């Protein structure tokens, strides 16, 4: 495919912050666009994000001019060209956000050229077409209580998630999740005697709790009730970079060591049998915490996010060491579609669970749902089933 022209526009994400949309024109009046979400609790090794002004500066547009009027036959060859053109480790020259926007738009263009759905094209390109019509029953990781950097409340833990299986169909899972979200709102209103409860960045409820355990206990009680019994498991994203400094954690108002925190989490898992997964339980530099916790958890998973930043080598390393049983895949941590696909392949080859994820600053771009389907990922992590988050739920309904 030959790119005739490209454009970078300023748009705004779900927090009202500036982000970019990147388009390519491929001739015959055809153009493809992609928009870029933004993370707030970011891993330090994530691909660089250039603000709109730098992304669309004359100097950057000149550098990017090299992609026009050149034939690229595959996604990989286009992405490799971008990576070489940028030439830095963290994609700071062209911008990881600019590169991913071009990369996703290119994938959309190639899929259209082949008269295929984006997920079909990605499956053939990266995951072997043999999966073909096989069923995909992703677990939906839906964040219903927000804390940490995503909310103005007293929770150190960033996300309390309900894990909804889709074996009975995506539609019934989504309906059940929506009903559960409503029931949780009512439960929180009555428990906290509050008529109005705020929501955080990902649509989950945001209010003060007694401690970091209380939301889990409330969620566990609610899923035991007759109407929801057996429907959901629970998961957390501690995003522990956010409460780590000088080698210690600030948790429930106390300063605790890595060992203390591991013991606290172990207690959570014992008290709440429905709790299945914990993401970034320790800071990305505190690898010892991950091994400590993984050793003691059976049939449960520790998930890497800021730890692994959608990087194939890091995923291979930590999966190989047995300290993660699952991994978050966010294309904008990597900066090209090919590298995100490689991260998914690495997870598959290492036998760990891959969960394709949104960012807390959301746009209406649904590309990640197609990537997740192409890879037959274990799960998709897409926030509460409301507001701007609903676009990804709806894309699941369309394509699964
Ligand atoms: C996360 O930590 O998993 C997350 C989605 O948050 P953010 O997008 O702010 O990094
Ligand atoms: Mg995370």
* Residues 6 or more apart whose Cβ sits within 8 Å of residue 233: 162, 163, 274, 275, 276, 277
Please indicate whether residue 202 is annotated as part of the active site: yes
Query: Distance from the CA of 253 to the center of ligand 1, in angstroms?
Result: 23
DSSP reduced 3-state for 377: coil
Would you state the torsion angle of the CA atoms of residues 154, 155, 156, 157, taken in this order, to the nearest 10 degrees? -170
From the list 91, 330, 373, 381, the catalytic residue is 330
Whether 130 is covered by a domain: the verdict is no
What whole-number distance in Å separates Cα of residue 310 and Cα of residue 347? 10
Whether 27 is covered by a domain: the verdict is yes
pLDDT in tens, 342-391: 999 999 999 999 999 999 999 999 999 999 999 999 999 999 999 999 99
Would you state the pLDDT for residue 148? Answer: 97
Mean pLDDT, the chain, integer: 97
Q: What CATH number has the domain bearing residue 325?
A: 3.20.20.120
Please indicate whether residue 313 is annotated as part of the active site: no
Beta-ladder partners of 301: 277
The verdict on 213 and 353 lying in the same domain is yes
Residue 333 has pLDDT above 60, yes or no: yes
* One-character DSSP codes across 354-367: EEEE--SB--S--H
The verdict on 87 and 161 lying in the same domain is no
Q: At what angle do helices 390-399 and 367-375 cross, to 10 degrees?
A: 40
From the list 120, 159, 202, 284, the catalytic residue is 202
Whether 127 is covered by a domain: the verdict is no
The verdict on 225 and 338 lying in the same domain is yes
How many structural domains are present in the chain? Answer: 2
What whole-number distance in Å separates Cα of residue 295 and Cα of residue 333? 28
The verdict on 72 and 205 lying in the same domain is no
Instruction: Report the candidate in 312, 315, 251, 310 with the shortest Cα–Cα distance to residue 283.
Output: 251
The verdict on 106 and 240 lying in the same domain is no
The verdict on 87 and 143 lying in the same domain is no
Contact 102, 22 (CB under 8 A): yes
Residue 230 has pLDDT above 80, yes or no: no
Q: Which of 52, 87, 119 is the last residue of a domain?
A: 119
The verdict on 158 and 203 lying in the same domain is yes
What whole-number distance in Å separates Cα of residue 166 and Cα of residue 255? 40
The verdict on 216 and 103 lying in the same domain is no
Report phi then psi at 370, rounded to 5. Answer: -70, -40
Contact 367, 332 (CB under 8 A): no
Would you state the pLDDT for residue 231? Answer: 85
Give the pocket of ligand 1 (CB within 6 Å).
Answer: 39-42, 237, 239, 305, 328, 357, 359-360
Q: Which of 54, 86, 119 is the last residue of a domain?
A: 119
pLDDT in tens, 22-77: 999 998 889 999 999 999 999 999 999 999 999 999 999 999 999 999 999 999 99
Query: Distance from the CA of 46 to the center of ligand 2, in angstroms?
Result: 12
The verdict on 86 and 193 lying in the same domain is no
Ligand 1, pocket-test mutation among 360, 362, 379, 380, most atoms within 8 A of CB:
360
Burial class of 227 by CB neighbour count within 10 A (0 to 12, 13 to 18, 19+): exposed
Token duo for residue 114: 């082949």
The verdict on 146 and 114 lying in the same domain is no
The verdict on 169 and 271 lying in the same domain is yes
Residue 290 has pLDDT above 80, yes or no: yes
Index of the ligand 1 atom closest to the CA of residue 201:
9
pLDDT in tens, 247-277: 999 999 999 999 999 999 999 999 999 999 9
Ligand 1, pocket-test mutation among 13, 304, 305, most atoms within 8 A of CB:
305
Predicted TM-score (pTM) of the model is 0.98
Which ligand is nearest to the Cα of residue 201, counting in written order?
A: 1
Q: In the chain, pLDDT over 90 holds for what percent of residues?
A: 95
What residue owns the CA closest to ligand 1's atom 5? 359
Query: Distance from the CA of 399 to the center of ligand 1, in angstroms?
Result: 24
The verdict on 191 and 311 lying in the same domain is yes
Residue 90 has pLDDT above 60, yes or no: yes
Index of the ligand 1 atom closest to the CA of residue 149:
9
H or E stretch at 198: strand 198-199
Would you state the pLDDT for residue 28? Answer: 87
Q: What CATH number has the domain bearing residue 95?
A: 3.30.390.10
Token duo for residue 242: 């956010």
Whether 126 is covered by a domain: the verdict is no
Would you state the pLDDT for residue 377? Answer: 98
Can you say whether the dihedral through the CA atoms of 63, 65, 70, 74 is positive or negative? positive
Beta-ladder partners of 350: none
Q: Which domain holds residue 359?
A: 139-399
Query: Distance from the CA of 326 to the center of ligand 2, in angstroms?
Result: 12
Whether 132 is covered by a domain: the verdict is no
């Amino acid at each position: 495919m030959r790119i005739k022209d490209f454009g970078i526009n300023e748009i705004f994400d779900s927090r009202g912050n500036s982000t970019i949309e990147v388009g390519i024109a491929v001739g015959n009046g055809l153009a493809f666009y992609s928009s870029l979400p933004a993370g707030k609790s970011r891993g330090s090794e994530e691909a660089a994000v250039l603000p709109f002004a730098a992304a669309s500066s004359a100097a950057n547009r000149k550098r990017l001019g090299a992609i026009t009027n050149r034939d690229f036959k595959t996604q990989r060859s286009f992405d490799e060209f971008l990576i070489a053109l940028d030439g830095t480790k963290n994609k700071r020259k062209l911008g990881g956000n600019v590169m991913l926007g071009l990369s996703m738009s290119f994938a959309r263009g190639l899929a259209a050229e082949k008269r295929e759905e984006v997920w079909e094209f990605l499956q053939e390109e990266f995951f072997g077409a043999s999966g073909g019509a096989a069923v995909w029953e992703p677990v939906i990781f839906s964040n219903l209580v927000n804390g940490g950097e995503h909310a103005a409340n007293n929770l150190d833990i960033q996300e309390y998630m309900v894990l909804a299986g889709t074996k009975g169909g995506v539609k019934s899972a989504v309906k059940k999740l929506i009903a559960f979200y409503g029931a949780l709102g009512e439960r929180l209103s009555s428990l906290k005697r509050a008529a109005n409860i705020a929501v955080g960045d990902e649509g989950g409820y945001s209010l003060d709790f007694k401690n970091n355990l209380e939301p889990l206990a409330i969620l566990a009680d609610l899923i035991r009730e007759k109407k929801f019994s057996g429907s959901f498991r629970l998961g957390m994203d501690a995003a522990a970079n956010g409460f780590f400094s000088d080698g210690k954690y600030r948790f429930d108002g106390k300063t605790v060591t890595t060992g203390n925190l591991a013991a606290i989490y172990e207690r959570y898992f014992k008290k709440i049998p429905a709790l299945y997964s914990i993401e970034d339980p320790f800071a990305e530099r505190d690898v010892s915490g991950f091994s400590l916790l993984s050793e003691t958890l059976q049939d449960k998973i520790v998930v890497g996010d800021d730890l692994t930043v959608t990087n194939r080598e890091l995923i291979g390393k930590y999966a190989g060491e047995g300290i993660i049983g699952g991994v978050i895949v966010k294309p904008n941590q990597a900066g090209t579609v090919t590298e995100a696909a490689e991260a998914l392949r690495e997870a598959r080859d290492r036998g760990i669970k891959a969960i394709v994820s949104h960012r807390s600053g959301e746009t209406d771009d649904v590309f990640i749902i197609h990537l997740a389907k192409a890879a037959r990922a274990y799960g998709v992590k897409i926030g509460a089933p409301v507001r701007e988050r609903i676009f990804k739920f709806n894309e699941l309904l369309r394509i699964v």
